[in-house]
Amino acid sequence: MVRGKSRPPAKLSVISEHVWLLENTKAKRKFLVFGNDRRVPELWLHDYGNLKKDVDFYFIDEKGKLEELKVVIKVGTRR
């Protein structure tokens, strides 16, 4: 997030670039691992997650716990 509050357009753009790059490789397993601010990949998944094909998203917390992030679309929210 930008200063912890507003949408981070540059970060969201970089995530999109990485997803596109991974989707266009022949790797058997395609994934991105995020740390620091969990809201950033969650925001990307909320806004664009329905566009990704076969790239998994993970978040690793400060204790080293790895968690898979899923696309969650809340009913009644505007996309």
Q: What is the pLDDT of residue 75?
A: 64
**Helix extents (H) in 1-79:** 9-23, 39-48
Higher pLDDT, 49 or 78: 49
Task: Check whether 68 has a pLDDT greater than 90.
Answer: yes
Global pTM?
A: 0.85
Burial class (CB in 10 A: 0-12, 13-18, 19+), 57: buried
Residue-wise pLDDT tens digits, 21-45: 999 999 999 999 999 999 999 999 9
Write down the domain spans for the chain. Answer: 9-69
In a 13 Å sphere around the CA of 42, the CA atoms on its Cβ side amount to 11
* Rg of the chain on CA atoms, in Å: 13
Tell me the C-alpha distance between 53 and 25, whole Å: 12
